Structure 1
Amino acid sequence: MDRATSWRPPRWARPILLAVVLVLVLAITVTLTGQTQLTSSGTSEAAVRLALPILFAALGGLWAERVGIINIGLEGMMVLGTWGAAWAGYQWGPWAALVGGLAFGALGGLLHAVATVTFNVNHIVSGVAITLLGLGLTKYLSTLLFEPVSQNPRESPRVPGFTEFSVPGLSEGLQSVEQQQRVFVSDAAGLLGGLVTGLTPLVLIAVALVPISYLVLWRTAFGLRLRSAGESPVAAESLGVNVVAHKYAGVVVSGALAGLGGAALVLNPGQLGYLENQVGGRGYIGLAAMIFGNWRPAGLLAGSALFGYVDGLQLRAGGEAVHALLYGATLLAVVIAVLWVARRRWVPAAIALVAGLAVYALYWAIDTVPTEFATYAPQLVTLVVLAAASQRLRPPAALGAEYRRGEGS
């Protein structure tokens, strides 16, 4: 075995080690900067709620792009889902809101499938059209149906939400450890405590859909056929796979999942209703999380958690906490550089070290991150993460390729 790679831990242990390193970096950052919000249970709890719409959108992108269809229309499908969830939810309750969001999102996915699969419209053009259609249609429907009952065409009446719950015993115990302010231990307890506090059924559904998507796409015959449609549709058709039907299935499921992301926004305990423009680019961030995760369920879960964490941090603590996060990014860059050195990869190590020094210089040059920039921290993190991950990405081979029935005969 090559000495440069012999030290690598088993694959199952890598996520655990990564989580420990990240918590350790945050714990050191909290100790040196005094920004306890970085690892507080409140920030973690907010991150879960804010990550839900992104996670649903990322899962939607996974299903569409695994069948070879680029879906930048996730934003528009989420917009349709917000309106459908609010319309059904204020009349029949939160479970109806989920059904309404799913149905309206699936409708957007069906339109995208008709355009791209049946009529071979450019995937980007179709996605932009779906987003514009979603914005216009929901604005019209809101004026028509919400204005008479809420006196405001830009928002719906209040929608009943799910009852929140916490894991008995575990939530209280972690909060107790967090209050002791012990380095690393209390930081880890704070982050974990937010994951088991203030939960709703929607959180459980979102988390469950990650392994379900993996099992369906990678462990069933249907999933194998669906992914083959995104890797080599001509070869799949020659083996008897109905490529068109599987592409339709993938894109409709994609829209339905994006619609659930819209429903998650409507059912957020801090919102509980439809508000015009409330999606705010989360469909695009979900697409970025999916790409960051290399078109894999576990990876997109990590990407969604990252973007949700940054969003929750800037909402709860503002520019000072985001400024402290720059210090944490510097430490993380140093850790990455050390790992590259251990693997004798000198160029990536040098790049990581230079990037860390640049971030550290920025940290010292300013006292706080202006509110205008802190608000867009998730979008900025999206750009940085995609730039850093671009060299290791492996999209489906036939992603975005035009396909016509009969090419494999």
Structure 2
Amino acid sequence: MSTATVAKSRPAQAAKPGRRRMSLPVVLLLIAGALVLVSVVRLITGANGITSTGQMSTALRLAVPIGLAGLGGLWAERAGVVNIGLEGMMILGTWFGAWAGYQWGPWVGVAFGILGGCIGGVLHAIATVTFNVNHIVSGVALNILALGLARYLSKYTFEGVPQGSSKQSPPIESLGTFDVPGLSDLLVTLNQKHWFVISDVAGLLGGAITNLSPLTVVAVALVPLSWFVLWRTAFGLRLRSCGENPVAAESLGVNVYKYKYIAVIISGGFAGMGGAFLSIVASNVYLDGQTAGRGYIGLAAMIFGNWMPGGLALGAGLFGYTDSLNLRGGTSNVHALLLLVALLLLAGALYLAWRRRYLPALITAVVAAATYLWYANTSEVPSQLVTASPYIVTLLVLSLSAQHLRMPKADGLPYRKGQGG
């Protein structure tokens, strides 16, 4: 069966006005505009930490497990299976990664973390694909099962071991870190100059190539690799056809069950790698409750990215950055970002007014004014707000982007072989 045949089998979709995908030049222009705006805010507020190399490096490290969970969700949902169980698969990845990493080394731990996530993927696939269990119910059950299993296994294996307990594994050997020789130091120096835009770009690039773990490089490479496999190969086209119209795919000879199983198992492997990253790279020990909802945030990043790898990566970076503000004592940084939010809302209000959507423009302008008054009349924000910022950003992003999303048509729908008659 040719790729063109599957493509022709998919129903043509009428283009909706105002929903065209942005071209690369437009995306680059928006990113450049955002960098200029951030630089302006940094100069006004004096909060140089918002674009420091250390801040960006921490954000990348925190974004990796979220991005891996999001990639897992992307693979499953492109095949038509909703994967709420990403959190549970990450939990299995943290425990299996720590258990094997402690005994046989960090790379073996990564492999076992992936295997643990794949086991969760198999369970989810059996429930949803073979037995047609509701995808949400199966995912929630898997999350509960994984949490209980990890706690039981931790008590059974780590308790009584030197530096271990029922809630913590012994330390795991590090994978190590590296910089790009010469370039990393140059970008750090430029960032410390605090020049307009140049230092901000240097901080962004410096954070991406400073104090890197080899597993971070692997995780980042998986984003374009996933795009290539899903959108540029016959295998990917068949898999995506199962999430758009499985009946039509079956009529052309695609084994829908097989592709759904493959997608969900790969999904679990990605989530398990994200869990192994948490226990081996981010903290070098397994801790009870270590995932802290990152599986759900990864799912939110995938939705924010409109089920596309590039958008998913941007969403993971956004959530990782807000999480990094909490780790690096970011009350003053978050206060400075209130001004950035106010300016972004003002820009949104002007855009809505230009589109002649006057009521939404007015509401957005009022919110922008309230945010600016909050910034102008305070010197810092409560620490509780900084702690909750990743979850607040998750809710805001999902609520604001909900009207511009297009999920796979058959995502979450039950399927039985031969149901097309």
If the length of structure 2 is used for normalisation, what is the TM-score?
0.92
What's the CA shift string for 1:7-29, capped at 9, x where partnerless? x9981223322221222121111
Aligned residue identity for 2:174: G
Give the 3-state SS of the residue equivalent to 2:285 in structure 1: coil
Aligned 1:103-142 pairs, distance under 5 A: 103-142=115-154
Tell me if structure 1 keeps the 8 A contact 2:106–2:280.
yes
**Separation (CA, whole Å) in 1 of partners of 2:363 and 2:409:** 29
Q: Which range is displaced more, 219-228 or 341-350?
A: 341-350
Aligned residue identity for 2:269: A
- Offset at 1:340? 4.3
- Offset at 1:404? 1.0
Q: Give the match for residue 279 of structure 1.
A: 291
Q: Give the match for residue 242 of structure 1.
A: 255
Aligned residue identity for 2:242: A
Match of 2:382 among 352, 362, 370: 370
Aligned residue identity for 2:272: G
Matched, 1:266 2:279: yes
Q: Give the match for residue 386 of structure 1.
A: 398
- Offset at 1:367? 3.2
**Separation (CA, whole Å) in 2 of partners of 1:293 and 1:403:** 26
Unaligned runs of 5+ in 2: 1-16
**Separation (CA, whole Å) in 1 of partners of 2:66 and 2:198:** 29
Tell me if structure 2 keeps the 8 A contact 1:314–1:322.
no
What's the CA shift string for 1:339-378, capped at 9, x where partnerless? 4455555555444433322322332354322112210100
Give the length in aligned residue pairs.
403
Matched, 1:99 2:111: yes
Q: Which range is displaced more, 56-65 or 17-26?
A: 17-26
In structure 2, relative to structure 1, the CA distance for the partners of 1:79 and 1:354 (3 Å cut) is same
**Separation (CA, whole Å) in 2 of partners of 1:355 and 1:392:** 21
Q: Give the match for residue 265 of structure 2.
A: 252
Give the 3-state SS of the residue equivalent to 1:198 in structure 2: coil
What's the CA shift string for 1:98-130, capped at 9, x where partnerless? 101100000001100000011111111100000
Give the 3-state SS of the residue equivalent to 2:392 in structure 1: helix
Match of 1:72 among 84, 89, 114: 84
Aligned residue identity for 2:66: I
- Offset at 1:338? 3.7
If the length of structure 1 is used for normalisation, what is the TM-score?
0.94
**Separation (CA, whole Å) in 2 of partners of 1:348 and 1:168:** 50
Q: Give the match for residue 334 of structure 1.
A: 346
What's the CA shift string for 1:124-145, capped at 9, x where partnerless? 1100000000100001111111
In structure 2, relative to structure 1, the CA distance for the partners of 1:339 and 1:168 (3 Å cut) is farther
Q: Which range is displaced more, 234-243 or 254-263?
A: 234-243
In structure 2, relative to structure 1, the CA distance for the partners of 1:337 and 1:9 (3 Å cut) is farther
Aligned 1:10-409 pairs, distance under 5 A: 11-149=23-161, 150-269=163-282, 271-341=283-353, 346=358, 349-409=361-421
Tell me if structure 2 keeps the 8 A contact 1:314–1:321.
no
Q: Which range is displaced more, 85-94 or 112-121?
A: 85-94
Tell me if structure 2 keeps the 8 A contact 1:37–1:317.
no
Q: Give the match for residue 5 of structure 2.
A: none
Give the 3-state SS of the residue equivalent to 2:73 in structure 1: helix
Aligned residue identity for 1:307: F
Tell me if structure 2 keeps the 8 A contact 1:292–1:389.
yes
Task: Give the percent of matched residue pairs that are identical in Structure 1 and Structure 2.
Answer: 53
Tell me if structure 1 keeps the 8 A contact 2:48–2:194.
no
Give the 3-state SS of the residue equivalent to 1:214 in structure 2: helix
Unaligned runs of 5+ in 1: none
**Separation (CA, whole Å) in 1 of partners of 2:263 and 2:336:** 41
Tell me if structure 2 keeps the 8 A contact 1:37–1:313.
no
